[in-house]
A and B are shown apart, each in its own frame.
Chain A
Amino acid sequence: MPGLIPASAVIKPAQPRESPLGLTLRALLRRRSSRIAMIVLGVIILVGLLAPFIAPYDPAAQPDIVALKDLPPSLSHPFGTDPYSRDVLSRVIYGARLSLTIGILATIVSLTLGVAYGAVAGYIGGMLDAIMMRILDAFLSIPRLLLMLGVLVAWPHLSIGALVLFLGLTGWFGLSRIVRGQVLALKHAEFVTAAQALGASRRRILARHLLPNLVSPIAVAATLGVAHVIVLEAGLSYLGIGVPQPLASWGNIIQDGADQVARLWWMSLFPGLFMVSTVMMLNILGEALRDVYERRS
């Protein structure tokens, strides 16, 4: 009889094996915009990481507060010096380190909170979900910037750790909404029902089936979140209530030259350029990620 051969003999392998992560990376590298974004971000991160080795001067050193202050860019000080005679290039390099660290750490805090809150509300559902969502609505109705100004004006000498925590604590509301929505949708996916039918516990379903499928929206939110925190931190530092002196962050370098922007243009131009390109590249990357994921589903 025709057609009676073992199916295993004719079922052919598809493309070579590739994990979802590998696929995503490849898709990102294939696009020109996200490729450039990844390269630029890679360079800035590297600069931050290697700051002690590549910074020409100590960022906090004030060698000669009279003779060496407010120097325009020159060979010995490519980005010029500030009113305290500190080397702006070195401060921008160290600023990359601090601004990125604050951005990443604060985002980790808000991701953890946002994912946990959203996943619990979405997965357990019912009354608990309703209560948790109303609480979230209340949080969301507080303007983040006003809250920050209030807190930071009341406690102006927050340590870096406290600042990170504070930025993280106020940044998870939107994400937890997204996560809740995704969990609600995924909860009824057939593969979740299948796991339930296999006898999987709730915890297992959440950890093995729901959360891994949230990687895409979380990755997008994280990328955009880091960009957002960097801008916020710069804003707060610019207002003089963020990163305390003599530490360098992009925001407070700009602040150091803020009263004479026209004359000390190098003091806002160079840190500004670094910050704008970092934020822009993060946003481009976030959008590209979103696009890649949407295309796949």
Chain B
Amino acid sequence: MASPLLSIRDLRTYFYTESGVAKAVDGVSFDIGAGETVGIVGESGCGKSVTALSILRLIQPPGRIEAGSRIDFEGKDLVTLPDEEMRNIRGNRISMIFQEPMSALNPVFTVGDQVAEVARIHAGIGRKKSWELAVETLALTGIPAPEERAKQYPHQLSGGMRQRVLIAMALIMKPALIIADEPTTALDVTIQAQILDLLVHLQKEFGTSILMITHDLGVIAETTSRVIVMYAGEIVEEASVTELFARPHHPYTEGLMHSMPHIGHDQERLNVIPGTVPSPTNWPHGCRFRERCPYSWDLPEREHPPLYDVGAGHTSRCHLAREPQRRNHPHEPLVVQEGVGAA
């Protein structure tokens, strides 16, 4: 088997804050193959965005990628790469699309200039050539009249158009990997549909790998081929998209799927995952989902669950893999003790 494009091993990104060490990403390992679209799904604070920023080494102090973490990409370990070489990778081999298209664009330059700048930095081409390339790339993203649009400033464009500009910036160097961090969360649903459609189309056309980070299981189902579910700084489940939706194994994944209302399947009452996410400065011992879990039972030594192989390339960080019969006996979740975690 060919080696994957991106291979992350035991990534730990910690933030040294006044109230303690926040273990935002705490031992994450996964691969992305060439041309593959992988999704990371989870709620706020699960570590999905920090994972993305870690790959590009965009973690600001007091955050730090811990020693021993490895991010192998095209034969280089990004964790130890000199800054100079890292800059060569950003926007060139790996690019990123952010959630908030307005704040990701500089208000004082035209959008064409900002797209062209990426090419000037990385391809070493001149002003005229890079401008032509920028207009061409803007056209690829479905911006009508790209020559005129390129001369406009970000505030003159709608949210959907700005997101297309960001995609053009991410695309102009034909990178091997695009990281899309909640690329449609700030957009209206009909515009979201346009952008998702565009991303899927571009992925097919150029064979770029995409890491899609989102809280929306719908976006995951429609765009990705493999899914990673994160909770409390760790991967709790990983499977192909069809496998995950057909047979969710981890109780957290199950809870997420059941707590969202679906159009056309009205239920009287929504299922909820009780409680709140624990604090990253103080993850619970053993299973981090235990206190909110409907199946949890008292393991004698509060063992931290490994990622169990549950078949068909499907892994899950849940002891149910060892004692599957317990799934038939859900109970009310344990009541959380005072003082554990934070709001």
Name A's B-contacting residues (CB within 8 A): 1-5, 7, 9-15, 30
Contacts and interface: CB of A to CB of B under 8 A. Distances in A.
Interface stretch (B81-89, B109-117, B129-137, B334-342): B334-342
Given A2-B330, A3-B271, A12 B276 contact: yes
Interface string B251-292: 000010000000000000001111110000000000000011
Contact of B333 (A3, A12, A15, A30): A3
B332 interface: yes
Contacts of B333: 2-3, 5, 10
B246 interface: no
Contacts, number: 50
A43 B98 CA distance: 51
Which interface residue of B275, B291, B338 has the most chain A CB atoms within 10 A? B275
A12 B332 contact: no
A14 B343 contact: yes
A13 B338 contact: yes
Given A3-B272, A3-B273, A10 B335 contact: yes
B336 A15 contact: no
B294 interface: yes
A11 B339 CA distance: 10
A12 B339 contact: yes
Interface residues of B, number: 23
B343 A2 contact: no
Give the secondary structure class of B's interface.
Answer: loop
Which 10 pairs show the lowest CB-CB distances between chains A and B? A2-B294, A10-B275, A14-B343, A3-B272, A2-B330, A10-B274, A9-B335, A5-B332, A3-B271, A10-B336
A5 B335 contact: yes
A52 B19 CA distance: 45
Contact of A12 (B19, B273, B330, B340): B340
A12 B338 contact: yes
Contacts of B335: 5, 9-10
B274 A5 contact: yes
A12 B341 contact: yes
B274 A3 contact: yes
24 contacts: A1-B271, A2-B255, A2-B330, A2-B332, A3-B255, A3-B271, A3-B272, A3-B294, A4-B272, A10-B276, A10-B291, A11-B275, A11-B343, A12-B275, A12-B338, A12-B339, A12-B340, A12-B341, A12-B343, A13-B338, A14-B342, A14-B343, A15-B19, A15-B342
B62 to A, nearest CB: 13
A1 B294 CA distance: 9
Contacts of B294: 2-3
A30 B340 CA distance: 25
Contacts of A11: 275-276, 343
A12 B336 contact: yes
A1 B331 CA distance: 8
B20 to A, nearest CB: 11
B291 to A, nearest CB: 8
A11 B274 CA distance: 8
B193 to A, nearest CB: 30
A4 B339 CA distance: 22
A1 B269 CA distance: 11
A13 B338 CA distance: 7
A30 B18 CA distance: 10
Interface in B1-44: 18-19
B289 to A, nearest CB: 13
A4 B336 contact: no
Given A4-B272, A5-B333, 10 more contacts: A2-B333, A3-B294, A5-B274, A5-B332, A10-B292, A10-B335, A12-B338, A12-B340, A12-B342, A30-B18
Contact of A7 (B19, B274, B291): B274
A15 B332 CA distance: 26
A4 B332 contact: yes
B257 to A, nearest CB: 13
Contacts of A30: 18
A83 B219 CA distance: 85
Contacts of A3: 255, 271-274, 294, 333
A30 B17 CA distance: 13
Contacts of B291: 10
A39 to B, nearest CB: 21
Contacts of B275: 10-12
A40 B275 CA distance: 47
Contacts of B19: 15
Contacts of A13: 338-339, 343
Contacts of A10: 274-276, 291-292, 333, 335-336
Contacts of B338: 12-13
A11 B338 CA distance: 9
B320 to A, nearest CB: 13
Nearest to A13: B338
Contacts of A14: 342-343
A31 to B, nearest CB: 11
A140 to B, nearest CB: 29
A12 B292 CA distance: 12
